[in-house]
Structure 1
């Protein structure tokens, strides 16, 4: 994933006005299947950013989602599933003003925190499916250990089913969290390829990832029979082609998954000196980098490796990447920076709802490449590349026209109180 307390999920090796609401999540794309709108809500959104689950109700997002991924659950060194922040997950008492149902949590209730808010969200929107997402950029350190042997795989999956699906949360009544989650999303960044420094990486991760999915599928089916419901299995897959080939038996991976979310951002960022696009649909003219990256290139790479079109759920960013110290040439694009732009949460990164303020301040000028499909802000020295409602509508149309499975959002706390981004994306995904 990206830009968070967990660090940036960079590809390995490497305002607009709100738009009118059009269509509903149930409407079909050209191929006749449901268009997914998958949004990540993070464990730290409320405490660190002041964005409770209720925010996505009030700004119109929740009613447009088909799926919500709660990020993240962690793995311990032996590969067991754990909560990294029980206080945020299920202990913190949420006041009435931040609660989905408008009622304050009470001391002694079986389930509180974000998980109780997600339960309330599902009651309000019964068609919404909610998954626990495991891993993330710095949370992927021990996936290789979990996947290493038949015994470790079985133990890992059992621990995750027990914690997140059966809802046996440490320090809470047995089964307190049962029913919150409808599936598990694996965010291993990346099998057989180094992601965050210090991750355990093995060459056999490629085959072990497939075996891990099989173990998940078997245990999820077994638990589903006991619970008389279907549990889904999804995974976040990379944009980088070397990482795809080194770490995944992609054709079989897609067969085992309910669907996949595919990295559609972090193509470039302030870990490079050249100010560039981080999420363009197509490669801009004059891009000096090799290899080239764009949404179209990434989608085609997955298709070429056997991905079913309707299982590709293309990621879109609710954040921007920024550089500073640029010469005032070419509106900053492809110029050499002295470093990352100052950001609210990390250098070189900021949420759309914050970046929009740079434009409305009058200190930055908005630039757009309609051919490549990307937008950026520039003030003569600082450059921010981001997706605004216009670009998200463009991506929604691209997903619909290519009959892909839908869009995935990282992350929901980046939108404005008016829900400008979700309205833009929805207008493109659903036919007028």
Structure 2
């Protein structure tokens, strides 16, 4: 049975029995026919404005054809917990030229929907099996999730506002329902329940229980809306690598029952917020790692399995960016050395997209090092160190996901790949035994 027809039957049954049910997603539809592990890619609100990467880039470099899901990041919450657009111009007002647009046709003044959402709509028309979600929150957008989840009334109001804005498509200043049909579900990126994330986040001890209650409210309202629209709306969440955050913030077994699937943090294990250079996304702990507790993809996946997460719902995150340090001594090829601070980055100190890091090798100053046992790569020029995933490491991670029988891979973020789409191609090859 197809996902759409099967899901409609589930929703109808749930409404008749009064139950709120999760939609299992052991497998994800592959654009090329048949079933395969899912490949989830984040495309950001600022990809075009800050990086000059429109959604059309994903078509031209071949990434879109290899995705099963795309998460659009981010929608935000106001202080009361209501869903809002943080940048209406980027989301649904900016007019795209023919050269920028997915369809190859220029937007026209006065059309009902423009901006990134219209480009996502065109992307779905080109790839009908692609499921697109609105992602809510993120590192700097999680300040008020605790307020939204606090009471039955706040939870109901929050979910209603998000469904109205993003699924019904009722955008402020636009015709009613202008964005309806763009999104197939909602992705919650609350970073993190009961655990401090970004400075200024509202954090409460009861966030752990309230997160579960919030998911139940989402399921109830999504099922009802899905029955009206004769379709299934999915519910996913981004979950942390930190084990303390896992235990403080999530009733894990219940959370996974309610989610279609979860994306799991597979990067940012280390970064320039620490003075010691290290790996940020290795599959296994490198020999000589001085930190405690240890972090790696293998450790994080095992931690979720130990807490009751089903393998087919674990979608491991992979980075299309690197973490960097500078002011290092010329020892141990820069690994595990004391820095003077973060390496300069184009958008953030200590952070750089892969498509910008790759050309460093061509200059001859940086040298590439690789740890095949641990599964990570890094660049070093005698003083500056970048840890990143290149095509070799992405293919390795795809194979790890396949061998461990996990649900798939999640990419942060698609705008970090090259015009040739080499990272997505390598990841796809690992996932599909190529």
Q: TM-score range by the shorter chain?
A: over 0.9
Q: Which has the higher contact order (CA 8 A, sep 6+)?
A: 1
Post-superposition CA distance 1:206-245 (Å, at most 9, x none): 0000000000000000000000000000000000000000
Match of 1:430 in 2: 432
For the pair 1:298 / 2:335, whether they are aligned, the reply is: no
Partner of 1:18: none
How far is the alpha carbon of 1:202 from its aligned partner? 0.2
Aligned partner of residue 266 in structure 2, secondary structure: coil
1:198 matches 2:184: no
Match of 1:402 among 404, 415, 418: 404
Q: Does the 8 A contact of 2:31 with 2:129 survive in 1?
A: no
For these two proteins, the number of residue pairs brought into alignment is 406
For residues 246-305 of structure 1, what are the alpha-carbon distances to aligned partners after superposition, in whole Å with 9 as ceiling and x for unaligned?
A: 000011000000000000000000000100000000000000000000000000000000
Matches within 5 A, 1:27-426: 34-426=36-428
- Contact between 2:375 and 2:393, CA under 8 Å: does it hold in 1? yes
**Counterparts of 2:36 and 2:199, CA distance in 1:** 38
The alpha-carbon deviation at position 431 of structure 1 amounts to 2.1
Gaps of 5+ in 2: 1-28
| 3-state SS of 1:96 partner | coil
Residues 24, 359 of structure 1: alpha-carbon distance in 2 compared, 3 angstrom cutoff: farther
SS of 2:295's partner is: coil
Shift of 1:34: 3.0
C-alpha distance after superposition, 1:56-115 (max 9, x if no partner): 000000000000000000000000000000000000000110000000000000000000
Shift of residue 26, structure 1, vs aligned partner: 5.9
3-state SS in 1 of match to 2:43: strand
Q: Structure 2 CA distance, aligned partners of 1:373 and 1:396?
A: 12
Distance 1:26 1:276 in 2: 38
Residues of 2 paired with 1:329 and 1:347: CA distance?
Answer: 23
Whether the 8 Å contact between 1:24 and 1:430 is mirrored in structure 2 is no
* Aligned equivalents of 2:30, 2:113: Cα separation in 1: 31
Which string of whole-angstrom CA distances, capped at 9 and with x for unpartnered residues, describes residues 106-142 of structure 1? Answer: 0000000000000000000000000000000010000
Q: Kindly state the Cα deviation for residue 24 of structure 1 after the two structures are TM-superposed.
A: 5.9
Long gaps (5+) in structure 1: 1-22
RMSD, aligned α-carbons: 1.1
Deviations 1:344-380 (A, max 9, x none): 0010000000000111111100000000000000000
Q: TM-score, normalised by structure 2?
A: 0.93
SS of 1:172 mapped into structure 2: coil
Please tell me whether the aligned partners of residues 193 and 211 of structure 2 are also in contact (alpha carbons under 8 angstroms): yes
Q: Give how far 1:198 is off.
A: 0.5
Q: State the Cα deviation string for residues 377-425 of structure 1 (Å, max 9, x = none).
A: 0000000000000000000000000000000000000000000100110
* Equivalence for 1:12: none
**Alpha carbons 2:43, 2:414 under 8 Å: kept:** yes
TM-score of the pair, normalised by structure 1 = 0.93
Cα distance in 2, alignment partners of residues 27 and 161 from structure 1: 31
